[in-house]
Structure 1
Amino acid sequence: MYSILLQDSSWATFIGRFHPAIVHFPIGFLLIAALLELGRRWGKIAVSENVVVFILLWSAISATFACGAGYLLSLSGGYDVNLLDNHMWKGIGVAVFAWAAWLVKSDKLQKALPAGKLIYLPAILVATALTLSAGHDGGSLTHGEGYLTQYTPEPFRSLAGLPPLKAEPTEIKPIADVQQAVVYTDIVQPILQTKCTQCHSSSKSKGDLRMDQLALLAKGGENGPAFIAGKSAESDMIKRCLLPENDDEHMPPKGKPQLTTDQIALLSWWIDQGAPADKKVSQLTVPEAIKPALASLTKGAPAGSDKISEPGVLSLKVPKADDRVIEDLRKTGLIVNTLSQDQNLLEISAVNLPGFNDKQMELLKPVAQQVTWLKLGGTSITDAAFEQIAKFPNLSKLHVEHTATSDKGIAMLKPLPYLGYINVVDTKVGDAGLKAVAGMKALRSIYVWQSAVTDSAVSQVGKQFPDLLVMNGFNEATAAEFVKAGDKSDPEEVKNK
């Protein structure tokens, strides 16, 4: 057991992740002990020395446990080595001086070291100072170097000798002429800067991966190269986006700003084109399905933003949903977002409700007209739910991945006039289901990885409907076939696959 904990393992990571929680105990105990001691010495408060001794004991114990958990967490890697060393030794110093203060205060060293009480006050003050300094390093390790001082306002910024505040990019700026845009510099790099480099840059490189420079991105991290040129479906940076958001391996992590569907489509297209460093859009093959994502870059909204991009849906104008109905839906745990204020269209997601079932679909009846994006992936729905889904006339995107969906349910979607994207990854949908929806007028992409759909059916549908993207996962032969056919492996909507 001890050998397992002294090396990177699931047990070590499990225990190590308690470090951020445990570390708050010595911080609190030491600060309380220091304040009580100062207050007692100044005559401001009357407190028993036994109380201070008790608090110091628990500060020393909790600091020791925090050191142990911190060491186990460090085994997982991905931290700046020098910063990690500083943080570690400061943490050990906190524990050592906390124990020293307790030993002296409790008279444990009185006989062995008569002059021991002279080191009591310096010990508690040093322990407190190290706690604050180690906390600063811990914030930098977790959130990037300079995390605590990053947004220091003026005039304190100048007084501290800090450089001028540099605004972090939060969105992709519109491109005047997308055809002349350098794909990596003007499209790929801005996407990575807004969604990835917070955890993968020079100040913080989780998994030893840096995504702030193309050479370092190509080099990869502890899990190997981040991408394989020409094969987006086999590239780790794309595959992680295909995982459920609750999966520990999903990137960006749950709770962080997620890459939009168009953004992942553009990244995948760049990789499929060989991940060039200096090629312009006009110099690369642009499949029909990727053109809407590129076109959105010239507008005021960044690619893949919450602006509706489907041509048919753009013309829709539906009545505003009742605010009380939306509030009731949110109370059940559903996520309800307005995608377009002027059109009143809604996105409804059950990402946090794995138990959401067929009966609960009745809750969505009052907003049937307004729902255009519906995310039911990973829920408990079956084919019975599609009787209700088929009554959403303006549905344009549907996620039912990782559910019990089969051919019977998926076939009910045929009458929907605006449905352009379907995700049936890891379902029971087979060849019959694929063929049933392939001819839908608005359908641009369907994701069937790990379903019952066969490669032969994908090939047949591809020939019959050349403008339809059928993404069948990480099969090398399929990927090669798409590339050979002119790179029709448009990764539109890959994000929630």
Structure 2
Amino acid sequence: MDYPLLQASGWALFIGRFHPVLVHLPIGFLLIAALLEIGRRTGRIGVSESAMSFILFWSAVGATLACVAGYLLSLGGGYEAELLDDHMWQGIGVAAFAWIAWLVKSDAFGDKIPFGPAFYLPAFCLATILTFTAGHEGGSLTHGEEYLTQYTPEPFRSIAGMPPLQEKAIEAKPITNVQEAVVYKDIVQPILETRCTQCHNASKKKGDLRMDELALLLKGGKGGPAFVSGKSAESDMIRRCLLPEGDDDHMPPKGKPQLSTQQIALLSWWIDQGAPADKKVSELTVSEQMKPVLASLGSGLAGSVSQMQVSAIEGLKVAKADPKAIENLEKAGLIVHPLANDQNLIEVSAVNAADFGDEQLGLLIPLADQIAWLKLGRTKISDNGLKELSKLKNLNKLHLEHTAVTDAGLVHLKDLSKLEYINLVDTKVTDSGLKSVMQVKNLKSVYVWRSAVTDSGVVQIARSYPKIQIVNGFNEATVAQFVKTGDTTRAETKVK
């Protein structure tokens, strides 16, 4: 007979993810009990035996629930086996000794256990001590073995016999000469270290995948190879980065620092070049679009930086947004964030307002000058609503993915002179609509993956508008939803 809760099922993992919440119950109860016991024994406070018994009971219950949830969470895999085993047994020890302490302290059972009072203090102390050690192991499982001790200051490091503190760079250092940079060591590895290895290292192998060493990255995890050499579009590590951030398979997980557009482009380019371990940039083929991305890493290709366009809203300053207008948007379920305080520009997102539709677009008009980024993906916006958007004269990025907009609505956007990015993924837009939107003055990127736009249409239109990125899903020439790292319609050249 199969028991779903004893396997890595959806129910098991659902309950298991409550472990971080439940584990705080025994910690809190045991620490309170310890403080009360110390106060009682030193004569500072008066605490009844029944009160202590009550606290110990709930600490034991909490520890037991945490153990159950922790075990179910572990079924998902991705943890270092020995460290997980230590954490599990220490957690079980907390529960077991908490139950013993409660039994010998309770009115119902205490008198029936021979030498019961002699067991109380040792069991209680062991439960409290194991709470700390199990917590340490839990932190190591989640964040890596050195998470709690990594930034231990002096003189404690010397006293504990720890090596001197070595500050770890948060971001990759600028590269002096990009042409001579070893692609994996100087470009790819720093990206992985700052965005991926926290969850994919020796002590925490999420999905049984390690990304801290090239050989282990090549080996892959339980889902198969992390990437397919020469084919970034078919590589899992790229595919997951391109999923919506709210998707369970998106990496890095929501809430963690995300890879930038440039970082995904660099990883995709490295994979497309065969994922070499020791080749330099100058030894690989670089498309025209990759030159400015590589140039941004340092001064080696500084001359190519001039090819990168300046944003149409850079340096733009507008009046402060009307607080009442912002309040009205928030009441409608939209999220409003400032983009740059010195410019007073804002981002408006309907990520939590799926019912937002054309009739509510009037709420945006009082903020027509301030709205620079607008996310209306997965809402009920239609072609009629796009007429209202034409009034947002400083609109710079527009998300319309997974909506009912068609070619007819896009004609209303042609006069948005500062619009640089538009996402039309999974819409009914056709080749005709794509052609019309390309006439927007400063457009840089348009995403039409899973729309009615055809591959042949993309190729033809791209030839007429070579400076605009047209992203049409996973293929050998593009990286969906982010940066196009190659184009079959253009010849590739060596870095010069």
Give the TM interval when normalised to the shorter protein. 0.7 to 0.9
Secondary structure of the structure 1 residue equivalent to 2:401: coil
Question: Is the 1:289–1:444 Cα contact (8 Å) retained in structure 2?
Answer: no
Distance 2:173 2:350 in 1: 30
Tell me the equivalent position of 1:151.
151
Question: Is the 1:289–1:469 Cα contact (8 Å) retained in structure 2?
Answer: no
Secondary structure of the structure 2 residue equivalent to 1:298: coil
Aligned partner of 2:175: which letter? I
Tell me the equivalent position of 2:3.
3
Distance 1:319 1:326 in 2: 20
Secondary structure of the structure 2 residue equivalent to 1:114: coil
Q: Pick which of 250-259 and 382-391 moved more.
A: 382-391
After TM superposition, list the pairs within 5 Å mapping 1:14-29 onto structure 2: 14-29=14-29
After TM superposition, list the pairs within 5 Å mapping 1:44-55 onto structure 2: 44-55=44-55
Secondary structure of the structure 1 residue equivalent to 2:413: coil
Percent identity over paired residues: 60
Per-residue deviation, residues 355-382 of structure 1 (Å, max 9, x unmatched): 4444554444455455544433334433
* Structure 1 residue 384 corresponds to structure 2 residue 380: no
Question: Is the 2:419–2:442 Cα contact (8 Å) retained in structure 1?
Answer: yes
Secondary structure of the structure 1 residue equivalent to 2:339: strand
How far did residue 340 of structure 1 move? 8.8
Distance 1:5 1:113 in 2: 35
Q: Pick which of 39-48 and 167-176 moved more.
A: 167-176
Unmatched tracts of structure 2, length 5 or more: 480-484
Distance 1:278 1:462 in 2: 34
Tell me the equivalent position of 1:245.
245
Structure 1 residues 483 and 291, CA, compared in 2 at 3 Å: closer, same or farther?
closer
Tell me the equivalent position of 2:349.
350
Distance 2:325 2:221 in 1: 44
How far did residue 87 of structure 1 move? 0.4
Question: Is the 1:345–1:371 Cα contact (8 Å) retained in structure 2?
Answer: no
Distance 1:405 1:331 in 2: 22
Aligned partner of 2:381: which letter? I
Q: Pick which of 249-258 and 121-130 moved more.
A: 249-258
* Structure 1 residue 406 corresponds to structure 2 residue 406: yes
Secondary structure of the structure 2 residue equivalent to 1:276: coil
Instruction: Determine which of 296, 320, 323 is the counterpart of 1:322.
Output: 320
After TM superposition, list the pairs within 5 Å mapping 1:73-88 onto structure 2: 73-88=73-88
* Structure 1 residue 262 corresponds to structure 2 residue 262: yes
Structure 1 residues 45 and 399, CA, compared in 2 at 3 Å: closer, same or farther?
same
Aligned partner of 1:279: which letter? K
Secondary structure of the structure 1 residue equivalent to 2:3: helix
Alignment RMSD: 3.3
How far did residue 428 of structure 1 move? 2.3
Aligned partner of 2:126: which letter? V
Q: Pick which of 256-265 and 270-279 moved more.
A: 270-279
Q: Pick which of 405-414 and 364-373 moved more.
A: 364-373
Structure 1 residues 308 and 168, CA, compared in 2 at 3 Å: closer, same or farther?
farther
Secondary structure of the structure 1 residue equivalent to 2:311: helix
* Structure 1 residue 31 corresponds to structure 2 residue 34: no
Distance 1:330 1:174 in 2: 44
Question: Is the 1:312–1:418 Cα contact (8 Å) retained in structure 2?
Answer: no
How far did residue 55 of structure 1 move? 1.4
Question: Is the 1:288–1:467 Cα contact (8 Å) retained in structure 2?
Answer: no
Aligned partner of 2:67: which letter? C
How far did residue 92 of structure 1 move? 0.5
Distance 1:330 1:289 in 2: 42
Secondary structure of the structure 2 residue equivalent to 1:294: helix
Distance 2:272 2:324 in 1: 41
After TM superposition, list the pairs within 5 Å mapping 1:151-170 onto structure 2: 151-170=151-170
Aligned partner of 1:336: which letter? H
Aligned partner of 1:142: which letter? T
Question: Is the 1:444–1:468 Cα contact (8 Å) retained in structure 2?
Answer: yes
Structure 1 residues 159 and 335, CA, compared in 2 at 3 Å: closer, same or farther?
farther
How far did residue 385 of structure 1 move? 3.8
Distance 2:443 2:422 in 1: 8
Distance 2:36 2:306 in 1: 59
Tell me the equivalent position of 1:336.
337
Distance 1:168 1:381 in 2: 46
Aligned partner of 1:272: which letter? D
Tell me the equivalent position of 1:447.
447
* Structure 1 residue 175 corresponds to structure 2 residue 151: no
Q: How many residues align?
A: 479
Structure 1 moving runs of 4+ over 6 Å: 476-479, 486-489
Unmatched tracts of structure 1, length 5 or more: 301-306, 490-497
Q: Pick which of 430-439 and 62-71 moved more.
A: 430-439
Structure 1 residues 54 and 347, CA, compared in 2 at 3 Å: closer, same or farther?
same
Q: Pick which of 126-135 and 255-264 moved more.
A: 255-264
TM-score after normalising by structure 2: 0.86
Aligned partner of 2:335: which letter? L
Question: Is the 1:78–1:207 Cα contact (8 Å) retained in structure 2?
Answer: yes
How far did residue 406 of structure 1 move? 2.2
Structure 1 residues 478 and 37, CA, compared in 2 at 3 Å: closer, same or farther?
closer
Distance 1:446 1:488 in 2: 22
Question: Is the 1:353–1:379 Cα contact (8 Å) retained in structure 2?
Answer: no
How far did residue 483 of structure 1 move? 6.7
Q: Pick which of 210-219 and 165-174 moved more.
A: 165-174
Secondary structure of the structure 2 residue equivalent to 1:68: helix
Tell me the equivalent position of 2:206.
206
Distance 2:72 2:178 in 1: 48
Aligned partner of 1:321: which letter? A
Structure 1 residues 234 and 483, CA, compared in 2 at 3 Å: closer, same or farther?
same
How far did residue 485 of structure 1 move? 2.3
Q: Pick which of 58-67 and 404-413 moved more.
A: 404-413
TM-score after normalising by structure 1: 0.86
How far did residue 222 of structure 1 move? 1.6
Per-residue deviation, residues 167-209 of structure 1 (Å, max 9, x unmatched): 2322232222323322222222222222212212223221111
Secondary structure of the structure 1 residue equivalent to 2:115: helix
How far did residue 24 of structure 1 move? 0.9
After TM superposition, list the pairs within 5 Å mapping 1:280-319 onto structure 2: 280-298=280-298, 311-313=309-311, 316-319=314-317
Structure 1 residues 255 and 39, CA, compared in 2 at 3 Å: closer, same or farther?
same
Per-residue deviation, residues 313-357 of structure 1 (Å, max 9, x unmatched): 36854233315559936982534343595xx37451416433444
Secondary structure of the structure 1 residue equivalent to 2:451: coil
How far did residue 263 of structure 1 move? 1.7
Aligned partner of 1:485: which letter? T
Structure 1 residues 272 and 249, CA, compared in 2 at 3 Å: closer, same or farther?
same
Structure 1 residues 246 and 163, CA, compared in 2 at 3 Å: closer, same or farther?
same
Instruction: Determine which of 485, 489, 494 is the counterpart of 2:488.
Output: 485
Distance 2:199 2:121 in 1: 40
Aligned partner of 2:52: which letter? V
Aligned partner of 1:122: which letter? P
Question: Is the 1:310–1:420 Cα contact (8 Å) retained in structure 2?
Answer: no
Question: Is the 2:477–2:487 Cα contact (8 Å) retained in structure 1?
Answer: no
Structure 1 residues 315 and 401, CA, compared in 2 at 3 Å: closer, same or farther?
closer
Distance 1:410 1:467 in 2: 20
Q: Pick which of 160-169 and 115-124 moved more.
A: 160-169
Question: Is the 1:401–1:423 Cα contact (8 Å) retained in structure 2?
Answer: yes
Question: Is the 1:29–1:59 Cα contact (8 Å) retained in structure 2?
Answer: yes
Tell me the equivalent position of 1:495.
none
